[in-house]
Amino acid sequence: MTVWREDILGQGFECTDIDLGADEEGPLVATLVRSRPDSLPWLQRMFHGKRRLEGARVLYVHGWSDYFFQRELAAFWTQQGATFYALDLRKYGRSLREGQTPGYIEDLGDYHEEIDAALEIMRADAGEPVGDPGRRLILMGHSTGGLVLSLWAAQNPGGCDALVLNSPWLEFQLNSAGRHLLKPIIEIGARVNARDILPQIDNGFYSRAQRSVGLPGEYDTLNADWRPDRSHAVLTGWLRAVIAGHARVSQGLQIDAPISMLLSARSALTLRWSDDFTCADSVLEVDAVARAGLKLGPELTVLRIDGALHDVFLSAAEPRAAAYAALDRWTIGWAANHGPRA
């Protein structure tokens, strides 16, 4: 039986641990966070019926050097009637334990274990019997989380009903040519010492940009150990795993669910700070990601948001509102054709 406890986000949020055994650094857990939709008053239900996503479930997975903290994002989904869940992967955020290397993994496929376990908990949470296809499932991933969920969806045909990607890390910043040049070097390095720390290239510009644009109040309470201004140390074995994921995307994934991919309209990847960082993606080459997205599956909608940051839902007020509006329009179309099961 799953035991839920109050989450660090406070009222309206609960969480539970997922036991994943142990590795050489100690016990492994993932953490599933839950936010339920508010009940509609009976009079509103009588005149307006069900909300668009009534009974649907959303599972969100964060990016690199990150964890789930976005109350506003959860509210977007729950206000439409969906139950929202977020997964802090092993060695990230709520799941990070003392003595562990933050975010370290050597095969992105290992994350499928906690995704599968989270989905089982979500089905049980809804009272669905084993083997029942259950309510409609929307997977949502940001950056590396978008890559992880894309690989999971490709390996589990029919496993989800929609995939929403927020600036997914589908291609290396130096594009496919750079990835091919770097891959053998990283391969050799990982064989010699998978835990060798690579040079830190994050100057903290992305975090500075987020603070500069005036974000919701939740940003002021972030855990700096879980989401540092400069990213966690990049280890050779981890980078090899990410590059292997990019290679799989480039070969084509054939995901059978409708996909919505939100991206900034432009990138800003210079080595010196400028105001451009406050209105562009300073982490990924968005045009390369857009091209890579064409390899995900046959039903892809690309939504480019002018002025958005790497996390489009942590942008300044105007592009953030535009991102939510674009996703809302896409969700209307999706629900009309692929809406929640009765």
Segment among 45-54, 120-129, 147-156, 278-287 with least mean pLDDT = 45-54
- Helices then strands, each counted (H, E), the chain: 9, 9
Question: Which comes out higher in pLDDT, residue 196 or 32?
Answer: 32
Q: What residues contact residue 250 under an 8 Å CB cut-off, 6+ apart? A: 171, 176, 292, 295
Residue 62 has pLDDT above 90, yes or no: yes
Question: Which comes out higher in pLDDT, residue 210 or 94?
Answer: 94
Residue 170 has pLDDT above 70, yes or no: yes
Residue 183 has pLDDT above 80, yes or no: no
Residue 332 lies in a domain: yes
The pLDDT value recorded for residue 195 is 84
Residue 194 lies in a domain: no
What average pLDDT does the segment 137-154 reach?
A: 98
What average pLDDT does the segment 9-20 reach?
A: 97
The pLDDT mean for the chain works out to 90
The pLDDT value recorded for residue 131 is 55
Question: Which comes out higher in pLDDT, residue 190 or 256?
Answer: 256
The pLDDT value recorded for residue 43 is 45
Q: What is the DSSP string of 24-63?
A: TTEEEEEEEEEEPPPPPPHHHHHHH-S-TTTT-EEEEE--
Residue 178 lies in a domain: no
d(CA 112, CA 119): 10
Question: Which comes out higher in pLDDT, residue 39 or 180?
Answer: 39
**Is there a contact between 195 and 236 (Cβ–Cβ < 8 Å)?**
yes
Of all residues in the chain, what percent carry a pLDDT higher than 90? 76
What average pLDDT does the segment 19-34 reach?
A: 97
- 67-99 tens-digit pLDDT: 999 999 999 999 999 999 999 999 999 999 999
Beta bridge pairs of residue 23: 26
CATH number at residue 270: 3.40.50.1820
Can you give the residue range of the structural domain that contains 165?
5-171+204-226+252-338
d(CA 298, CA 283): 27
**Is there a contact between 144 and 255 (Cβ–Cβ < 8 Å)?**
no
The pLDDT value recorded for residue 261 is 98
What average pLDDT does the segment 223-239 reach?
A: 93
Residue 190 lies in a domain: no
What average pLDDT does the segment 254-262 reach?
A: 98
d(CA 159, CA 242): 23
The pLDDT value recorded for residue 56 is 94
Residue 281 lies in a domain: yes
Phi/psi of residue 183, nearest 5 degrees: -55, -50
Residue 177 has pLDDT above 90, yes or no: no
The tokens for 206 are: 């992305």
Classified as helix, coil or strand, 232 is: coil
- 260-294 tens-digit pLDDT: 999 999 999 888 999 999 999 999 999 999 999 99
Residue 219 lies in a domain: yes
The pLDDT value recorded for residue 342 is 43
Number of domains in the chain: 1
Residue 27 lies in a domain: yes
Give the dihedral of Cα atoms 187, 192, 197, 200; nearest 10 deg: -40
Residue 185 lies in a domain: no
CA 190 to chain centre: 26
Q: Would you give the DSSP letter of residue 92?
A: S
